[in-house]
Structure 1
Amino acid sequence: VCVCVCVCVCVCVCGVGGGLPMCYDWGEASEGGVSVLEGEAGWLFCPLFSHPSVYNYTSTRKDRLKPVWYHLPEGHDVEQPVQYSLRVSRDREHLLLLPAAAADTGQYICMLSNQTFCIKIAIRLKVLRPDEVVRDENCDPPVAVAPSQKIIPFQTGGLLDCPDVEEARKMATGNTTVTWTHKCTSPSNIHRQQRGASLQIHVMLNTYQGPYFCSVNYEREGLKLQFTRSVIVNFLPKLPSIHHPGKDQITTVKRNSDARLVCTALFPYLNSSWDIWWTVDGKRLDKLFDQHRFSRTSRWREETLKNEHGDRTVESVLLVQDFQSQDLKREFNCSVRNARGFETRRAQLEEEVSLPSLELGCGLGLLLLYRSWFGTDERHTDDKEYDVYISYARNSEEEHFVLFTLRGVLENELGFSVCIFDRDSLPGGTITDETLSFVARSRRLLVVVSPGYASRGSQALLELQAGIDGMALGGHLRVILVQYKPIQRQCWVRELRRARVALVLVRWQGDKSRELTSRFWKRLRVELPLRRVSMLSREKGSALCHDSSFVFLQYFI
């Protein structure tokens, strides 16, 4: 029996009864659209393959997931299957336009499906006429794709690679040639020479800055095709520069604790000496009368040592033991110098203001009581099956924390319905299908952040991507981050770093967080769906916060 709730979900709802697979729509790709110049070769890459650990061409073939492309032209309401021809064809993860035509403009949907599963994502294509492209000079060729950037230190060398030339070689059935121009002429001279498809700049001069254009010509099945890309080249000054602290940046320090002041500086490549140092009230550390309180450490950042131009970024840390209020009146300066110049930057300090723990905890308690009295129970407003879906790195230390602490308290103490894939999934099912279904049927996705998250298999990344997409599409799902142990931000998976600014992070602090009255559980309950508390619990909460609630509110007023 086919029962359609509304037009936009007919495929998902009707498919169950009609024998068609359920289809998960991931909306439009967040990376943005693709621009192609009319008459040039262009292609679309299916965004579903952007995460090879989740979907790749080999695994989808094993699962009999067939890629299909649909086209929704501008001004139309109904998408149609792409009609393949010699000009428009599919090559593995790509849809080829050889060449692109004005009628190709619109939205393209890439879909993977078999008899039991379907997932799709859209990407937008815009085909531009040559007169629609802005050019710096009349003799510059029109380019629809945004230019890439290249920085070459002054009086040193560098190699310019033509963007997308490797893609052309994969598609070509004949020879591929590349022609470079700069300021409307060939850049071939004693200082610049073309080497294969690349342009070698032996000595970077001021006049060599600006946009470079590479035109790629190739053949495919008898068709002569071409496209043009651009690379903007600039050179680095040789003066050293301080990146951190910024001119208006304020560092927070805590009284009676050790303060850590960080200075980060860039030293462009020079075959000469350089130095970075700290001063306190205009004196170097070895000249201070209380020098035992100050120590300094410097290190080269590992990633900059791999820079082919020899530039280096240096981080110098000033450690101040037992920081006191009078230290706020002192002047802490970081200075850098090389053979070309000098720069100094003062660290602006501000004392950290600590809120009394009773007032802070009571504030969360009051908020929970307020929600209990006046909040809306989401179970009455949606059709979700689970309150919380917990995502975590399997076979890790966090797994014990999830199974024996988070799950136990959420289910047994707080009364939430919890979904854990390894416990609640049925044997013999498709992991991708069941994972997406569980996440869609949950009100919250609770992600336990750890260094191993999304690196021990594809399922954790699939859960995370489904949750972030669910939030972006305006659904009822919300993503909450739980940090079990402190980890550096660069250890976070890329999707988490991008979405961190919009997500709530709740930190577990070991034994301090074990009691239900701790800040961790109160903070987590604020983010989870509302659950009514008994009248006795309300009275206890009111009594606990009565004496300090006025002080708490007065503090912030």
Structure 2
Amino acid sequence: GAPPTPLPLPMCYDWGESSEGSVFVVEGEVGWLSCPLFSHPSVYNYTSTQSAGHNLFWYHLPEGQDLEQCCLVHTKDRERLWLQPTTASDTGQYICMLRNKSSCSKIGIRLTVLRPDDATRGVKCALPVAVAPTEKIVPLQKGATLDCPDLQDAIKMSESKPEVQWYFASALKNVEVGFHLLIHVMQEEHQGIYYCRVQYQRRNQTLNFTRSINVSAICETPFLLTNIHVALSLTLSVPLSLPKQPSIMNPTNDQIFTVKTGKEVRLVCRGHLPFVLNNPSRHIWWTVDGETLDKFPDRFREENRDWTLESVLVIQNFQSKDLKREFNCSVRNEKGFDTRRAQLEEEVTLPSVELGCGLGVTLLLMLLLFVVYHVFWLELLLLYRSWFGTDERHTDDKEYDVYISYARNSEEEQFVLSTLRRVLENELGYSVCIFDRDSLPGGTITDETLSFVARSRRLLVVVSPGYASQGSQALLELKAGIDNMALGGHLRVILVQYKPVRRQGWVRELRRARVALALVRWQGDKSRELSSRFWKRLRVELPVRRDPLTFHLNAG
């Protein structure tokens, strides 16, 4: 749906309805309305009004509605309102309102949507056109170029290159496809109405509009020219004296030529040069920095096409410094002179080779870093911890680094005492607590177990098939560690799997802890060396040590 329509300001200067008359559009074709407030740039200018904080609003007032009830669903483009396409319900008055917080002005313009049958006005061999035809006078035996009116507007709105179909009214047949229609040699039978139908794509919709050009032939002799002028004045209501001053049709004021350095650039100048009786002299040419091209014989040349009143400036090997040059197209005949500057804009192109190489190198480096991290992530993590890790001995009051829980009177006990304890204490410098070694005789087992676990930074549980079947001491230690960890204490539990254990052999506490705790697997002889993955993985879970030996192991 359309956004809520802002209410007009209480004090809004009303210019009434535009004196330019109604705008006519054929139903089903594209149409647009230009805000009449901007018809006098000295009073209202779109760019300056936007910079001053003014906003332009459009309202549609069907019969029987007022301003507050109207709504709008069409496309706005600067000072224009586009109807793409028009429907019969679009008929009515439109209000364009220019307002900010302190001022407001509005003016009305009426739109009439014609049915295709009404637009042909009952004429056979005619296409429905709502806009009055433009007039084109072409001397006999001379050439001319017909440009479809309003084509530039379609180019701005189109998402692809528009297509233009040309028709001649005498037989209403398709005579040409292209932006321009060339009349190489004007004959009397070539006179008449020419239609151009512009078709373009916008938002997956095919849109079109039709325009017409009334082409008349004139003779260079004064007598015939006067007779033709009289006939034209009676039938077409054109003035007896046609304008003789030359003008430039291309480049237009807002046209920008896109150029690419290192390539050939062709700038097309097309002029309108009316014939002057008894003096048919006509000229069209290019200048560069105010100088004619004979001053630049190396890279600039001009191709003149007299039969189309066209001059093409060819620039070989266009260079960046050429963007700073002034390229002017000029036309002249006996009655006057006109000139216009060509605006250039460098085409932005991505260096494909350099971009491809850079992207390839980037992907290769990312792949290399991924492989390095995947293979050496333990070493990198240990190195990072040795540089930036925090020594927990300075932040807590724990007595032991590691408390080892294991199944007594089993093979695991030999592994704990001869291997695990020895490496942790003698090689890695950790303080280790083992209940059977460090507890005092005569104490209460439960109290001392809970005390030892609470005074340790890590609880290392050696998991094996006999862990749950060798009495309740190991389970007490495990439960104490898990409870301490769950209550937010500083203790962390580490699981070391000495031998594979079937899932049915895991006690309930271990099955719960296995989901969230780290599991380090002992792999027999492969894990005996200090450089093995087992000891590196275990050191990642143990507290950080900064002594020289540990740093040496981290780096190695």
TM-score, with structure 2 as normaliser: 0.39
Greater gyration radius: 2
TM-score, with structure 1 as normaliser: 0.39
